[in-house]
Amino acid sequence: MRVWVIMLALGIGTFFIRFSLIGLLGKVRIPQRVERAFRFIPASMLSALVISQLTSYASSAPSPLTNSYYLAAFVACGVAWKTRNTLLTVFAGMVVLWLLRAIGM
Amino acid sequence: MRGVQAFLPLLVGVVPFGLITGIAVSQTGISPNDGIIMSLLVYSGAALLVALQLIQLGTPILITILSALMVNLRFLMYSASLAPHFQKLSSRWKILLAYLLSDQAYAVSISYLEDPSNQKTGHWYFLGAAIAMWLTWQGSLFLGMVVGVNVPPGWSLDFTVPLTFLALAVPTVKDKSTLFSALVASLAALLMNGLPFKIGVVIAAIIGIGIGAMVDEWRSS
């Protein structure tokens, strides 16, 4: 139930973000300052999310350097930087994770 | 139809991304049927994933909604940029095109829309690209969810969730300022990780955005 309340609110909210300025007949302009701040939303929000998600994998190893999840994420980060390809990034991360598991990490 | 055609090259990127997101969604314990209804409602993979993740962690409703909507704030920019081109359309058209607005639909149509000679056909072009994207997305997402629920837990497919976000986050770093804001947000998220209900994520993001904008302003002045 809770989940659906959230989804409904999210659906309505997302629609109105998309509709906002199209609906306002293009009369309203976003101030330049706000527009510039907008540029930083994806990078900040997504990085904060990644870090917070990765910390939930912390307990599986005594040291961060021997945590197979962290090593896999590190490699995936490099792949993402080089290729900017989602599929390749996720694939590389998973393969590294499975390989580290196979050698007993 | 030309809009559909313009979208076709993007299939190569959208299908795998839809599949991966679908797999990630299935790892949050959502059935493919519920998942597709959610996706029809929200029509944003990143927002859907953020919300499902936070729900799983027991985050309060308001913070969950706020975090997920923040991921979608970029649509405000697209909406602003498209508004003058859709100005003369009926409300029905506007509602339809707004619902279908996606990164991909925007990317393939904006240069067509900005050409004054396409004034009369622009919205059809956008509609074609947007519907093609919508169908591709929902289809590949559903397929991903079906695959995801049928994979044994030993494969640790749950790890595709942070990896997907990582794959989304890295390309958003486009220059020194965005890199700086991403690093600040990451560090802040790490420091505030102990705060309850993952509220640290939202605060960290706001800090990152604020510092990024400040550095940007300072460098350009």
A28/A21 Cα distance (integer angstroms):
7
For the cut 60, the answer to whether the pLDDT of residue B61 exceeds it is yes
* A62: closest CA of chain B, how far (Å): 18
In angstroms, how far is CA B122 from the centroid of its own chain?
24
For the cut 80, the answer to whether the pLDDT of residue B128 exceeds it is yes
For the cut 70, the answer to whether the pLDDT of residue B186 exceeds it is yes
Q: What's the pLDDT score for residue B43?
A: 94
- Site from A5, A15, A18, A91 to mutate, B interface, most B CB atoms within 10 angstroms: A18
- Number of other residues whose CB lies within 10 A of the CB of residue B56: 14
Over residues B73-86, the mean pLDDT reads: 83
Q: What's the pLDDT score for residue B112?
A: 86
Of all residues in chain B, the percent with pLDDT exceeding 70 is 99
pTM of the model: 0.77
How many residues would you count in chain B?
221
Q: What's the pLDDT score for residue B137?
A: 95
Amino acid identity at A11 = G
User: Which of B7-11, B122-126, B192-196 is the most confident on average?
Assistant: B122-126
Contact criterion met (CB < 8 Å) for B208 and A44? yes
> In terms of C-beta density within 10 A (0-12 exposed, 13-18 middle, 19 or more buried), how is residue B187 classed?
middle
Q: What's the pLDDT score for residue A62?
A: 66
pLDDT grade for A28, boundaries at 50, 70 and 90: low
At B98-123, the pLDDT tens digits run 999 988 888 888 888 888 888 888 89
For the cut 70, the answer to whether the pLDDT of residue A27 exceeds it is no
At A77-94, the pLDDT tens digits run 999 999 988 788 989 999
pLDDT grade for B180, boundaries at 50, 70 and 90: very high
Tokens of B72: 């979608």
Contact criterion met (CB < 8 Å) for A80 and B166? yes
Q: What's the pLDDT score for residue B29?
A: 85
Give the list of residues 6+ apart from residue A48 with CB closer than 8 angstroms, or none. Answer: B185, B186, B188, B189, B200, B201, B202, B204, B205, B208
Interface membership of B17 toward A (CB under 8 Å):
yes
Alpha helices per DSSP H over chain B: 2-7, 11-26, 32-42, 45-56, 61-71, 74-86, 91-100, 103-114, 122-149, 160-169, 176-191, 199-220
Closest to A38 measured CA to CA, from B61, B221, B216: B216
Q: What's the pLDDT score for residue B88?
A: 85
For the cut 90, the answer to whether the pLDDT of residue A31 exceeds it is no
pLDDT grade for A60, boundaries at 50, 70 and 90: low
Q: Name the residue with higher pLDDT: B150 or B132.
A: B132
Q: Name the residue with higher pLDDT: B136 or B107.
A: B136
* A83: closest CA of chain B, how far (Å): 9
Q: What's the pLDDT score for residue A25?
A: 61
Q: Which residues of B touch A33 (CB under 8 A)?
A: 213, 217
Interface membership of B6 toward A (CB under 8 Å):
no
Contact criterion met (CB < 8 Å) for A42 and B172? yes
- Site from A8, A14, A60, A67 to mutate, B interface, most B CB atoms within 10 angstroms: A14
pLDDT grade for B136, boundaries at 50, 70 and 90: very high
Q: Which residue reads 């599929």 in tokens? A: A87
B208/B210 Cα distance (integer angstroms):
5
